[in-house]
Chains A and B, each alone.
Chain A
Amino acid sequence: MPEGFSGLLTTAVFLPLAGALLIALLVKGDKRVRAVAGIIALAELVLSVVIFVNYDRDAAGFQMVDRVTDWVGAPSLKIDYFLGLDGLSAPLVLLTGILGFVAIISSFFSVKQRVREYFVWLLVLQTAVMGVFTALDFIMFFLLWELELVPMFFLISIWGSGRREYSAMKFVIFTFLGSAFMLVGILVLYFSTGTFDMTALPESIEGARLLLPAGAVFGLLFAGFAIKLPVWPLHTWLPDAHTDAPTAVSVMLAGVLLKMGGYGMIRVSATMFPGVMDDLAWLLATAGVVNILYGAVVTMRQTDLKRLVAFSSISHMGFVLLGLSAVAGAASSVGMTGASLQMFTHGTITGLMFLLVGLVYDRAHTRYIPDLGGLASRMPALAVGFLVAGLASLGLPGTSGFVAELLIFLGAFPAWSWITAISATGVVLTAGYILWMIQRTMFGPKLERWETLKDPSPWELVPVAVLVAVILLVGIYPSIVSDVFRAGVDPIAQAIQNVPEVALR
């Protein structure tokens, strides 16, 4: 049982919340609010890098544990304060730090009304996501998982565009529906095993008689993750929420919030129910291929730039599912590493995409693709960003997208050769819609009405540059991240491999 209290993770999780309280109660004036939020975001970025670098990938188990046993000690509810880091969560913490920084810096110029409230909610959101990735007590995990609802509702419905109130409500109802099932699943586990400790649960479940069949508990928990990821046909909240959210929130939503779903699938579904995961891998593979192809085909047809990026996320999250379905084969560790790397890379790539779309919209005041065109000659720097994001998204070697997809295909092929082969066509479709989109917006004939457009200011390009750097760095030297992920998922994949063959298959 991991014990101790190093305080590093606690700081990382609660620093943004403290910043939010500070801004809400003490800081006056928009300029100062921005400055304080920026400082907090920078500190958070530094902190997440420190945490990532300090993570010892050779040591097994959870590190930098912060634990207060029996935060709530009643027999009917034994909750610990329990944070910890393993190879799976370390890169995601880093991702949250990077995207949180990007989101806040990019909001400096685009958010002009109700500035204070905006940064308060954005910081609260960062605490919630950071917490989800590090919490190791199930109730804490759930609490932080739900905490993200309130800021997201306000962020989308106040600062969004289009049908923002509808989208915000839809997002809340969908997520809440998923967590309703998840909560019951958590409670069933608790009353079967007597612990909320996520590190102890895999073992406890093995020996315990569950109150419900393992498949049913798995389903209850999986429902929450599936809505979050999202898995077709539970995805309908995603295009609305992504499209109508303000830029920085789309970045957070696509960049880290979706990853909560994938993270949950590995941390909870795969780790605690290796047997069920093994049995249901075909379902994951099928859902993966449906997500990939359905997402890609629908993306093709989009005329709204932001909606296009949103639908492409559905397709890309399908790859995560496909990677996870590798658990049924010999290369399960490779597949799972690929799936988690895909989460990381998709976070940076799509984050960059949304950021650039936001910059285009701020200038052109339209996201309607047929109206755009020839922007590259007016805004060369922005076009370069688009090109990097686009090429990474379609998986060009040398960018991070390639490594992740390659690992996923390598992992899934031994288990599901046909399904993997079909999924691979998704890559072609991706190339199609990405290149077509770039061609229609960035290149083509120069349009007179865009003559006045200028490249973003250096300050606005800071977040773009950060993300481009990460994408290229991970593309060229992937093991900087993938080794950490592998250290995290290896034991999980191993456990699934060791599941005794049961009559079910």
Chain B
Amino acid sequence: MTGHDLYLLSPELSMAGLATILVVLDLFLGRKDLLAWVAVLGLLLPLGFAISLWVGLDRDGTGQMAGLFDTLSVDKFSLFFKFLFIGTTAAVVLTSTDYVKRLGRLQGEYYALILFSATGMMLLASTTELITIYIALELTALPVAALAAFMRDSRSSESGMKFLILSAISSAVLLYGMVWVYGYTGTTNLEEIARRIGDVGLRGDQPFGGYALLLGVVLMIAGFGFKIASVPFQMWAPDVYEGAPTPVTAFLSVASKAAGFAILLRIFYVAFPWEAMSLEWSAIFAILAVASMTLGNLVAIPQRNIKRMLAYSTIAHAGYLLVGLAAATSRASEGNLLGGPTGILFYLGGYAVTNMAAFGAVIAISNKTGSDRIEDFAGMARRAPLLAAVLTLALVSLTGVPPTVGFMVKLNIFGAAVDSGLTWLAIAGALNSVISAYYYVRVVKVMYLSPPAAEERVPSPLPMTVAVTVAMAGVAFFGVYPAPLLDFARTAAATLRIALIF
């Protein structure tokens, strides 16, 4: 390990260091409410390192910097995700303050676990080698399992247990898939895999011929399918989401999913690009996309618990994102190779601000009412005008109605599908947005039309107000002027191609 490697890892290292500091600080600090601010301000450090890496990439003009024996690549693609994770983590920390107060003793640990998980995600976005991918994934998942069980009541424990077991199973499936790929190609480096597949071809003299590789890839898709909660690997999501502390749910629904897509994109762009082998993954992703969108949206309709509803909505959004992946891997996208990946990155960015706004408002409201049932949001327009407005805007954005970022990201991702000759998929996605309007609007209806159960105002603590206001501003601003986010996503996606062409 050289100094350069340390520099490349600096965002992750500083994040992990920050987590450690928080645990230690927790022992000495009398005022526990300062921990959240320390965590948020501390995040400026990894942010600074990430910015400096970005600037460094611009200065060198190399496109990517590989390190740690080629297991790691710092490029704009991974930096995009690092920014995303840092931002999401900051929002999760800010919205957690009220929850954490109830924990009493373990506050430092709570923040530390979130930061450790975020470290894993940041690492995951940079990895270019199967074993490292696996390790980063575990680093991402294990803290979340502990976080999900943090409330120490029966539902939370169940949630943590479920997440732990299913995450272990999915990791096993993933690992098994990696074994087949390794057996076929004899390497774990993604670029090397692509090259070997190109050399050996699909038939080769391998045992089982091309099927070995196919099996490996399908198993890997299944493994990642669990991580991004796509149908048919979604069944853990509603239970885990419902039982976990709501900020952790938000973290799972935004950051965890983004991490899953980051690595899916990298693997399918670098290791299994269709140029190198005559298999199209597009069809698989398209089917998963339609199944996720439709099932997620339909099952969300009868939900009475807002966290469960948002869980199913998350499944549906995994479907919309898979539309982008289907477009990215489609043969017809040859002319515009960037459409799909740009769409996914843009979508993830827009989805992150939107969902953080939604979860922030839900957290603030249910902290006060002590209930996650949708009917208990009645009359919130009067009891908490700001939070109700934020939640409304977020739900409108999740539906995909302008002028919100949710519309722009859907427009872009459906556009990528149309451009790749998948017009039917775009139609399916657009129709699914119509279904989703039904259950999103229902929440708005309850907040604005039903009489409040109590007249008492619902206060929101300062960190919460900061978080939701920033998120809401993001939803509205990027809804009207999406150019900065879109350009950012495009620049990031472009480096993915550089990795491939090399």
Contact = CB atoms under 8 A, between A and B. Distances in A.
Interface of A: 71-77, 139, 142-144, 146-147, 149-150, 153-154, 157-158, 165, 169, 172-173, 176-177, 180-181, 183-184, 187-188, 190-191, 211-212, 220
Nearest to B416: A76
B66 interface: no
A438 to B, nearest CB: 36
A150 B448 contact: no
Contacts of B419: 76, 191
Nearest to B412: A77
B434 interface: yes
B453 interface: no
A165 B396 contact: no
B441 A77 contact: no
A181 B195 CA distance: 42
B401 interface: yes
Contacts of B427: 180-181, 184, 220
Contacts of A150: 396, 401
Contacts of B414: 183-184, 187
A149 B401 contact: yes
Contacts of B418: 184, 187-188, 190-191, 211
B403 A147 contact: yes
Contact of A180 (B338, B433, B487): B433
Contacts of A75: 336, 338, 490
Contacts of A158: 448-449
Contact of A146 (B336, B339, B407, B415): B407
Contacts of A144: 402
Contacts of B438: 169, 173
B401 A71 contact: no
A76 B430 contact: no
Given A77-B486, A176-B401, A188-B423, 6 more contacts: A147-B403, A165-B449, A172-B437, A187-B414, A190-B415, A220-B427
A72 B448 contact: no
B67 interface: no
Nearest to B444: A153
Contacts of A146: 401-402, 407
Interface string B29-47: 0000000000000000000
A146 B423 CA distance: 21
B445 interface: yes
A187 B426 contact: yes
A164 to B, nearest CB: 9
Interface string B386-415: 000000000010000111000100011011
A183 B412 CA distance: 11
A258 to B, nearest CB: 20
B415 A77 contact: yes
Interface in B205-246: none
A165 B426 CA distance: 30
Interface of B: 336, 338-339, 342-343, 396, 401-403, 407, 411-412, 414-416, 418-419, 421, 423, 426-427, 430-431, 433-434, 437-438, 441, 444-445, 448-449, 481-483, 486-487, 490
B483 A74 contact: yes
A299 B434 CA distance: 30
A183 B445 CA distance: 26
Given A72-B482, A158-B448, A158-B449, A187 B415 contact: yes
A75 B445 CA distance: 38
Which of A144, A177, A180 counts the most chain B CB atoms within 10 A?
A180
Which of B336, B402, B448 counts the most chain A CB atoms within 10 A?
B402
A190 B401 CA distance: 20
A143 B338 CA distance: 24
Contacts of B490: 74-76
Contacts of B487: 73-74
Ranked 8 nearest A-B pairs via Cβ? A180-B430, A143-B402, A187-B418, A191-B419, A72-B483, A74-B486, A187-B415, A176-B434
Contact of A76 (B403, B415, B445, B449): B415
A177 B438 CA distance: 11
A73 B482 CA distance: 10
A76 B433 contact: no
B341 to A, nearest CB: 10
Given A76-B490, A146-B407, A165-B449, A176 B437 contact: yes
Contacts of A184: 414, 418, 423, 426-427, 430
A184 B434 CA distance: 13
A183 B411 contact: yes
A76 B434 contact: no
A465 B449 CA distance: 35
A153 B441 contact: yes
Nearest to B418: A187
A212 B423 contact: yes
Contacts of B483: 71-74
Nearest to A183: B430
15 contacts: A72-B483, A74-B487, A76-B416, A76-B490, A77-B486, A144-B402, A146-B402, A147-B403, A153-B441, A153-B444, A154-B448, A180-B431, A181-B427, A183-B430, A188-B423
A147 B418 CA distance: 24
B113 to A, nearest CB: 38
Given A153-B441, A187-B426, A180 B448 contact: no
Nearest to A145: B402
A379 B161 CA distance: 73
B481 A191 contact: no
A299 to B, nearest CB: 30
Contacts of B415: 76-77, 187, 190-191
Contact of A77 (B396, B411, B421, B437): B411
Contacts of A190: 415, 418
Contacts of A191: 415, 418-419
B187 to A, nearest CB: 34
A139 B411 contact: yes
Which of B396, B434, B444, B483 counts the most chain A CB atoms within 10 A?
B434
Contact of B421 (A165, A181, A211): A211
A181 B423 CA distance: 11
A191 B481 CA distance: 21
A379 B239 CA distance: 63
A264 B338 CA distance: 32
Nearest to B417: A187
A142 B403 CA distance: 10
Contacts of A71: 481, 483
A76 B412 contact: yes
Nearest to B424: A184
Contact of B441 (A147, A172, A188): A172
A76 B402 contact: no
Nearest to B402: A143
A180 B486 contact: no
Contacts of B421: 211
B468 to A, nearest CB: 17
